[in-house]
Every structure is written in C-alpha cells, then in structure tokens.
Amino acid sequence: MPYLDFLTTYSDRFLDGTLITLGQFGLAVLVAIIAALISGLMKMSHSKTVRATATVYIELFRGTSLLVQLYWFYFVLPLFGFTLEKFTAGFVTVGLCYGAYGAELVRGSIQSVPKGQWEAALALNMSPAARMRRIILPQALVTILPPWGNLMVEILKGTALVALISVADLMFETRQINNNTYLSAQAFGTALVIYYIFARFMVTPVMRWLERVMARKIGRM
Amino acid sequence: MLDWKLDFTWEILPRLIAAAGNTLVAAGGGYLVAVVLGLVFALAQRTPSRTLTFIVRELVEFVRSTPLLLQIFFIYYVGPQFGLRLSPWAAGLIAIGLHYAAYLSEVYRGGIENVPKGQWEAARAINLSTVQTYRRIIIPQALPPALAGMGNYLVGILKDTPMLSVIGVAELMHTANSIGADNFRYLEPYTIVGLIFLAISLPTAWLIRRFDKALRRKMGLTR
C-alpha cells in the first residue's frame, strides 16, 4: 500500500489518538503543576512531618517506574476501594510521577530568589501567603520555566505509557493499526513524527514564548 | 477487599527476584550501549563537517523528543518488514541504548565544552594529535563533572526497563504481569515490583549523590 493511501485510510484513527494524547498531556501537566507546587512548598516547611510527607511522595514516585505506577494505580488501587477509570488513572499517574520530579525544580527556583526579596516583603508587613504569591513565586517562575520546559517534553513522552492500560491514545491507536496492517514502519514512523512535531514545534516554542513573556513582565529583559 | 496473602508472596518472591536479575542485566546492557553510542554522538557533533553536526544534532533531538515506548516498538517491528529479525533482547537493548545515548551525548557535550579553551590551545602548542588531546587532556577533565549526570541516567535506564516487557523481555514487569494473569492476583506482584525498584534505585541514587559530592570536593568545585 503506498504511504499516501495508508495515511488517508488511517488518518482518522491517528487523529483520534492524537486528540486523546493531547487531553492526557494537558491534564497530566495540570496534575504535575499542582503536585510539584504543593510538594515543593511542603519540602520547605518548618514542620518536620510536613517535610517528611513530601519526601515520601517524591522518593516513592522518583524511585519507581512510571509503568509500575500506572499498573499499580489501575489494577491495585481498586482493591483499596479507589476505582479510577482508565483515562483518569492515566493522566493522574503521569502527572503525579512527573510532579515528583518537578517538586525539586519548584524548591530550587524558590530558593534561588534573593534573600533581600524575602526580607523586603517582610519589611513591608506582607503576610506569608501574600509574600509567596506576589513577590516570591513570580520571580521563581522565571527561573523554573527553562527546566520545566524539558519536563513538559518528558510528560508528553510519559503519556505514551497510558496505552498500556488501554487508554486509546496515539500510541494505542498506532499499535492497533500495526496489528491490523503489519505496516510497522508506516504506523510507528507516522506516530514518531506526530510526537516529534508536537514536542519540537508546539511544546518547546510555547515554553520559550512563556519564558520571554515572564522575563519581560518582571523586567529582566 | 484488601488481603495481602503471605504464602502467595513467598511463592512468587523467588521468581520476581530472579526477574530482577534480568532487569539489572537489561539496564546494564542498555547503559553500555548508551555510554558508547552517546560518546559517538557527542564527538560527531564536534567534527568540522557542518552537515554531520547538523544531522547528528537533529537525530539526538528527535530521539529525545519521542517516547521510548514507541521507539521500542519501532525497532522491534520494523526490522522484520525489511528481513531483519531482532530478538526482543537485542531490539530492547538497542532501543534503550539509543534513547539514552541521545541524553548522554548532551552530558558529554556539556562536559567537553566546560574544559577551558586554553587546554585545547596548550595541547595544540605541544603538538598533540586530536586523539591524544581528547584521550589525555580533554576527557580526563571533562569526565568527572559529567559523572553525576551519567549516574542519574543509569537510574533513569533502570526505571525505563519495564517498558521492555511489551516486546516480551522477561524482566520484572513482564514476570509480574504473567504472575498476575495466571493467579488473578495483582496486589502482591505489582507491589513487590515497586518495592524492588525502590530497593535498587534509592540506594543507587544516594550513592551517586555522595560520590558526586566527594568528587566535587576533591576537585575543588564545592559550591
């Protein structure tokens, strides 16, 4: 079958898969941001228990494989009474896994804000919450964006694993097409190109643009 | 309801520990491929040929931005289409090795670029060949700061080996899957697999951190 015919025949399925991958990616990023922010801040708490809780979360997810985590969340968690639908299990696990990696980035970027900024906010009588929200986090955001961009690509790649718990994402559809046609080079090759375009020409440029916008906003450009 | 069966645990533990051996072999083998291939990628980007630099640069970028799982499938299934049949182990090690070679080549590049320019000029001044310059001057200085990054990717490879289960490499995840399917029990095998990963990767990561600290202190790089 010529490649063009292959594409026209299966473009619908590639598109469906890509849309599911996009959904998984967007939601996983959301979960990762929340998890990283919470656990990163918890890591800097004065309370030992709070710090320890964050450490357990971070080490647990960074110390095991994403695939093990996915299977565990999907097959074992229901035994504890939490049944997650596969789509939800997919993005939640991917998000929690990369959130643990992001936690260290959050902590590092907050600690990179000069001490004078903390003291100045204190001198202005800001509450700790206001200080964090209005002074520290906006500046930390500028330092965290470049490494976070790399993490975004890792999250996108990580979402491919949800195919193994039968979420019908791009990876899953590609495998099905391969099983039906045995045209492996065409099927897997097309998927590789789609992931590549998505990572290189969408995720990375958006992150670069965000970096520029944020740097301008706090006057570092 | 949650009921952890101890006798079942004892029954499957030897099989899982044996499979953990395979996981370690897969990680070690993949790492070996990555370390060598990564160096090839890094050096290829330092040749005077702009075309070669561009091609390798784009290849590294491509490999780094696409999922390893897809690359494993690609390498395993595309071969037979062109008459090249790879065993699951061979395909798996090539895929993992290639994927991490792309990451490691960046680590090497960083290390090499960190060596001050004067070192190159001095090597040239005393008439060392390119090979001698790399082997005796550049690599000894580029390697120590790169070691921490290399170590982290070793742990990274270890954690990515479960993906090899999809093409039938009998590592931990694959064994846990088949135990689960045979007995309709997933709690024990999956949990034990997670614990085995923790038991391997946490101490390894800790050792790498300590080693890196000691090395930095020795080289006078402590921040």
How far off is chain B from A24, nearest CA to CA, in Å? 14
Segments of B58-216 assigned E as strands = none
Q: Let me know how long chain A is.
A: 221
Q: Which domain holds residue A117?
A: 20-170
Considering only residues 44 to 83 of chain A, which have any Cβ-Cβ distance to chain B shorter than 8 Å? 59-60, 62-69, 71-72, 75-76, 79-80
Domain membership of residue A111 (yes or no) is yes
Of B24, B3, B13, give the one whose Cα is nearest residue B189.
Answer: B13
Residue B222 has pLDDT above 60, yes or no: no
**Residue B204's closest chain A neighbor by CA?**
A63
Q: Is the pLDDT of residue B219 over 80?
A: no
Nearest to A76 among B71, B186, B202 (CB): B186
Classified as helix, coil or strand, B94 is: helix
Contact A153, A203 (CB under 8 A): yes
Question: What ranges do the domains of chain B cover?
Answer: 6-218
Whether residue A202 is contained in a domain is answered as no
| A5 lies in some domain | no
Chain B residues whose CB is inside 8 A of the A174 CB are: 70, 73
Residue A82 half-sphere exposure toward CB, CA atoms < 13 A: 8
Residue B163 banded pLDDT, cuts 50, 70, 90 = very high
Reported as a single tens digit per residue, the pLDDT across B54-93 is: 999 999 999 999 999 999 999 999 988 888 899 999 999 9
What is the C-alpha to C-alpha distance for residues B72 and B88, in angstroms, rounded to an integer? 9
Residue A100 burial by Cβ neighbours in a 10 Å radius (0-12, 13-18, 19+): buried
Instruction: State percent of chain B over pLDDT 70.
Output: 97
Q: How confident is the model at residue A123, as a pLDDT? A: 93
Q: Tell me if A214 is assigned to some domain.
A: no
Give the ipTM. Answer: 0.92
pLDDT at residue B2 is higher than 80: no
Give SS3 for B25: helix
Domain total in chain A = 1
pLDDT mean across residues, chain B = 92
Q: From CA B71, how far away is CA A111, in angstroms rounded? A: 38
* Minimal C-alpha gap between B180 and chain A (Å): 10
Residue A3 lies in a domain: no
Give how far Cα B34 sits from Cα of A72, B19, B25, B157, B210, Å.
29, 22, 14, 10, 23
- Per-residue pLDDT tens digits for A99-135: 999 999 999 999 999 999 999 999 999 998 999 999 9
Between B221 and B178, whose confidence is greater? B178
Q: Superfamily assignment of B6-218 in CATH?
A: MetI-like (1.10.3720.10)
CATH number at residue A59: 1.10.3720.10
- Over residues A35-58, mean pLDDT: 96
Q: Is B62 on the interface with A (CB under 8 A)?
A: yes
